[in-house]
Amino acid sequence: MANVIVVGAQFGDEGKAKVTDLLSQNADVVVRYQGGANAGHTVVVDSGTYKFHLIPSGILYKGKLCVLGPGMVIDPQAFLKELGGLMERGLDDSGLKVSATAHVTMPYHLILDAAEEDARGPQKIGTTKRGIGPTYADKCSRTGIRVEDLLDTEVLKQKLEYIVPRKNVLLERLYNLPPLNAGEIHEQYIEYGRKMSKYVCDTSAIIFNSVRERKNILFEGAQGTLLDLDHGSYPYVTSSSPTAGGACIGAGIGPTIIDRVIGVSKAFMTRVGEGPFPTEQGGEIGDQLRQIGKPWAEVGVTTGRPRRCGWFDAVLGRYAVRINGLDCMAVTKLDVLDEFDEVRVCVAYRDIKTGERHNELPSIAGSIFSRMEPVYETFAGWNKPTTECRSFKDLPVAAQRYLNFIEEQVGVPVAIVSVGQKRDNTIIIEDPIHGPKRVLTKSTKF
């Protein structure tokens, strides 16, 4: 039995879906614990390509329980559309469970999210405009609507009669937008509730009972460590906690049941939206990182926006290890680097004002961080395709050195390497769930 958390160790879009899909084969329960329809997970299998936003990718396997946990915010319209598309392709929804206490993204959340982002002008955050921030804000202000409210017509009516007039004040007076009708929303969302009712339950109890039955449970987050509300590049962050600690709160379980935490990083770095990105590369290198591997180029699954690209940042990698308590790493998209004559890794930052070197992450927001420039180690590229490699020793020697250097720098082993989009384009160096925990024999001190 193993209960495992998979987290993004960068700015999101690290390829968590492929790693989750790989580990889901041996899981009994797959739990999504935070975020909403702002997530975008792509899985490529023999039957085609699947893009997930709300539903755990474990639904691709028959007999798995797939849980949308209480820490999520769920847009019913997006959920039903996504589910309908999956069922049209023959997938089974019998194991799908939705937390009764997850909060609901309402129409006013979507409108306000877009209006607030547009009003920021040059100070925009880079939100997906999926209503995530306003939904979590209402949750914190205790005016939110939960999934269970969609199943009770009187409760939903009372809540909307209180909330909608207050949202209309913002819409009309602050943003010069037309008001919403509480009655129309009530009618629409009661219908959504009717369609969702077969999936709604106490998911925390399901997870707890699965622990007692010694089942394998996989917890998957959306976004990444550097987008965490508390530990990320605030304010350019998401509105929840995608880090490992967020899994316990967002799933409704205690930390004592967790056996392992796996961090997912690309072999380089990407970021969608605004915010600091020390190793970002413009020009030819950035374009090359973004374009290689078409049609799987670096474009946001949810937004369609081109991703900003840059070299691997070991300072942020060490930070992700510390914040999440990572046991090991999965490194994705190594094949993207196959055509580079040289590759680089950021090993430290230098303060351009004082000249001081920082081996650990300074405050990731504000004036101090804005003064940081990367200190690089440069390696010869391998200029050989890696897509057909199925073991570590199959990789070119230069690629092996690159991965060894990354694990020495971040301080945890690399257990999985992805060298392509398909399931079998994967190198398993060690079983990250059932194998013995490997401790690096060489420890780099910083």
Active centre residues (catalytic): 13, 41
**Cα–Cα distance measured from residue 25 to residue 33, given in angstroms and rounded to the nearest whole number:** 19
H and E: helices and strands count for the chain: 12, 20
Residues 6+ apart with CB under 8 A from 334: 267, 386, 395, 399, 403, 417, 418, 419
Q: Which CA distances in Å does 16 have to 47, 222, 315, 336?
A: 20, 8, 20, 16
**Cα–Cα distance measured from residue 253 to residue 204, given in angstroms and rounded to the nearest whole number:** 7
Other Cβ atoms less than 10 A from the Cβ of 22: the count is: 18
Closest CA to 54 of 27, 86, 26: 86
**Cα–Cα distance measured from residue 270 to residue 288, given in angstroms and rounded to the nearest whole number:** 12
Kindly state the tokens that stand for 321.
């290890």
- Report yes or no: 329 and 262 within 8 Å, Cβ to Cβ: yes
Cis-peptide, bond into residue 235, ω within 30° of zero: yes
| Phi, psi of 332, deg, nearest 5 | -110, 165
